[in-house]
Structure 1
Amino acid sequence: MHGPDLVSWLLAALTAASGAYCLSRLRHAPCAPAGSAGAADSLAGGRRRLHPGHESDLAEGLMGCGMAVMALTGTTVPGEVWAWVYGPPAVALLLAAAVHPARRTHRLHHAVGALAMTYMALAMSSGAGHAGHRAAMGSPVLTGALLAYFGGYALWSGSRLLSGPGGSVVVASAGLPRACRLSMGIGMFAMLLTM
């Protein structure tokens, strides 16, 4: 990520806290066995499957922690490493969204996030310039489309956070996950903006 060090550190702290919170939510309820009332997209053979809400927590935790590391390390970690970290989950989420209609919107959103992380890493690692001042070589059209998507997502999730009774901010157990999604949307927007 290009930009002032303070911005990188603040973005890393915000996304790391959000990612850690999402990962901590995985411990609160066990995986639901296939075929139970709480399991979605159950598998044959009695295998266990993540509870539908935990699938989002896992994806958001991976995204938040990865954004924090990417914000701090910049181009020191090769883009190919990030492609291997985020490429397979993106493909898995796209396939799951295509095969199972349940939670399709969430899966597509997380797939877009994983693909955006891969795109940013590859664009930053292919940048031209001398040491310490590399310019990202991504597509302006794709970067603009991702900026519009994550900017719109941040506005939408922020409006949902404010949808409490009487317009009050809801930051209880239901509001904190929304606040984390909002912070990660803002973080993704900021990372794309500084490319």
Structure 2
Amino acid sequence: MHGPAWVGWLLVLLGVAAGVYCLARARTGPVAQRGEARGEGLMALGMAAMAWPLAPPSWSPWLFTAVFGTAGLWALARRHLHHAVGALAMAYMAVAMVVPSQQPGHTGQMGQMGHLGTMEPMAQMGQAGGASGAAAMAHTVPGGVPLLTGLLLVYFTGYVLAAGVRLVPAAGAVSGETVAGGPTAVAGSGVLRACRVAMGIGMLAMLLAL
């Protein structure tokens, strides 16, 4: 990821907090919500690991790709569409983290345009200057496929807005009507939905920093 380190640390804190709560909810919450809470918790911890601002080992992007790709296919097979989109988006970002560094001469359409535009000036630089210019270009060129990144941004923006609207208390809850499971179940379900909204915002931040 590109961007300031403090954004990465905020995403780490957000992911760890949401992940711990969701996993705890998976053990103590209603049976109907445990599977979904477990998936949300694992996704949140994975998001925290990917957002870690310190330099990761060279093999970690491929590990993220394998883990999240498998999780996405598993969620797709179980017809959990949002979990599938989230996991596959994480796998996509993990690939984008490593592909440009392995292929410095081919970084997608935007990378090719930047490379052609800077080819002549770089040819006039010295050996040290050329190396520093290439490193700077590698850091400024966005990773991934712009169209796919844009589609994911649209999806998660819509999800955050729709899920945020659902956080507004229902008329029955406001008027004090009895809800199955009691007030504790209603409060826990609301916090779980709030965690999903927070994770959606975290996904938007990671996609923007890609």
The TM-score normalised by the length of structure 1 is 0.75
* Match runs of 1:116-155 below 5 Å: 116-128=89-101, 130=135, 133=139, 135-155=141-161
For 2:162 and 2:173, how far apart are their aligned partners in 1?
15
Structure 1: gaps of 5 or more residues = 31-50, 98-106
Aligned residues of 1:90 and 1:112 also touching (Cα < 8 A): yes
* Match runs of 1:63-82 below 5 Å: 63-73=43-53, 76-77=56-57, 78-82=60-64
Alignment partner, residue 2 of structure 2: 2
- Give the CA deviation at 1:134: 6.6
Q: 2:78 aligns with which of 96, 104, 125?
A: 96
The structure carrying a bigger helix percent of its residues is 2
Aligned residues of 1:14 and 1:183 also touching (Cα < 8 A): yes
SS in 2 for 1:127: helix
| Percent pairwise identity | 47
CA pair 74-116 structure 1, distance change in 2 beyond 3 A:
farther
Q: 2:166 aligns with which of 160, 170, 182?
A: 160
* Match runs of 1:5-44 below 5 Å: 5-28=5-28
The TM-score normalised by the length of structure 2 is 0.70
Pairs aligned (count): 165
**Is 1:53–2:33 an aligned residue pair?**
yes
For 1:134 and 1:124, how far apart are their aligned partners in 2?
13
For 2:149 and 2:53, how far apart are their aligned partners in 1?
20
Alignment partner, residue 104 of structure 2: none
Aligned residues of 1:151 and 1:189 also touching (Cα < 8 A): yes
If you compute each CA radius of gyration, which structure gives the higher value, 1 or 2? 2
Q: List per-residue Cα deviations over 1:92-136 (Å, max 9, x = no partner).
A: 111222xxxxxxxxx011000000000001011112463893744
Q: Which amino acid aligns with 2:11?
A: L
Kindly report structure 1 stretches of 4+ aligned residues shifted beyond 3 Å. 131-136, 163-168
- Give the CA deviation at 1:26: 1.8
